[in-house]
Amino acid sequence: MLVIEDLTRQYGDRRAVDGVSLRIEPGSFVGVIGRSGAGKSTLLRLINRLADPSSGRILHDGREVTALKGRHLREWRTRCAMIFQQFNLVGRLDVMTNVLMGRLSHVPSHRALLRLWSDEDRAMALAALESFDMGEFAGQRADGLSGGQQQRVAIARALVQEPQILLADEPVASLDPRNTRLVMDALAEVNRRYGITVLCNLHSLDLARAYCDRLVGLAAGRVVFEGGPFDLTEDVARRLYGLEAGEVLDDSAEREAEQRAALPGLPGIVPARPVREAALGA
Ligand SMILES: Nc1ncnc2c1ncn2[C@@H]1O[C@H](COP(=O)(O)OP(=O)(O)O)[C@@H](O)[C@H]1O
Ligand SMILES: [Mg+2]
């Protein structure tokens, strides 16, 4: 179980993540939704310890992730792999070598430096590629692949890290609909077949509904929605995103936000103040 307790990350006088508390069940596929600037990337970076919290803590199976240092921190980063919108492959290297990079933390460094991968590592890398229909590309340069293919290679690289958690930061944001589906299917495979917990930032509510079994809505760094895919009603979506149209913060937008604040809360929604903050802050 991944437990996030009152986590805050401050940049200057702005809170990118603001008092977030979550419990993430092992083996779940969690979608993090919310408009641009809501704090989705910061939340994932905090979990992976690419960023450190200003306050609050993260626990994994009772261990305090936010206190880890040195070797233990490196082990944690191996245990929670991360993929990004821009794939982050080494373009001039072949696909197989890119995937083998995911084994680096598992092999002695002198062997890694000489790129003396064991047969077992190679077999594992090829199997990972094959499970996403990418086996035939193993010998090709990574930069020759389409975006959707590169993202599936990145997922294979993450998989051979043998992580317990996969953090995916808008992994399909730059892909066309067909590749979006292939990449989301690959994440679903990682989740179901290998039992790896997936935490995925998504912009599309349709994808969030289709693929995730739990959803967390962020606005201005705060959790404003938590529920299953069927709890994400049009009304909730409007609360999460509806104010986007009213970016120009004139009086009417502010009045509307106040009226929203007076509405009774929906199940799973914290009172409307964060939504109002989203309107005024983000
Ligand atoms: N390294 C940083 N330095 C300063 N501000 C940051 C940094 N990272 C994020 N922020 C700010 O924190 C807020 C949340 O950003 P982010 O987590 O990237 O949101 P999202 O991924 O939902 O678009 C934004 O206002 C952003 O400008
Ligand atoms: Mg982001």
- Per residue in 155-197, pLDDT (tens digit) is 999 999 999 999 999 999 999 999 999 999 999 999 999 999 9
CA–centroid distance, residue 205 to ligand 2 (Å): 15
Which tokens is 116 given?
């003396």
142 burial (CB, 10 Å; 0-12 / 13-18 / 19+) is: buried
Tokens of 104: 């680096």
Q: Is 40 in the pocket of ligand 1 (CB under 6 A)?
A: yes
Task: Give the DSSP H or E segment for 159.
Answer: helix 147-160
Residue 90 three-state SS: coil
Residue whose CA is closest, atom 24 of ligand 1?
Answer: 37
Residue that wins the pLDDT comparison between 269 and 146: 146
Ligand 1 contact via 45 beta carbon (within 6 Å): no
Gap from CA of 81 to ligand 1 centroid (Å): 20
Rounded to 5 degrees, φ, ψ at 184 are -65, -40
pTM for this entry = 0.84
Atom of ligand 1 nearest to the CA of 51: 1
CB 47 within 8 A of CB 216: no
* CB of 281 shorter than 6 A to ligand 1: no
Q: With a 6 A CB cut-off, is 37 part of the ligand 1 pocket?
A: yes
Architecture of domain 2-280: 3-Layer(aba) Sandwich (3.40)
- Provide the percentage of residues in the chain whose pLDDT is more than 70: 84
Give yes or no for residue 62 having a pLDDT over 80: yes
Cβ 217 under 6 angstroms from ligand 1: no
Do residues 119 and 92 lie in contact, with contact meaning Cβ atoms separated by under 8 Å?
no
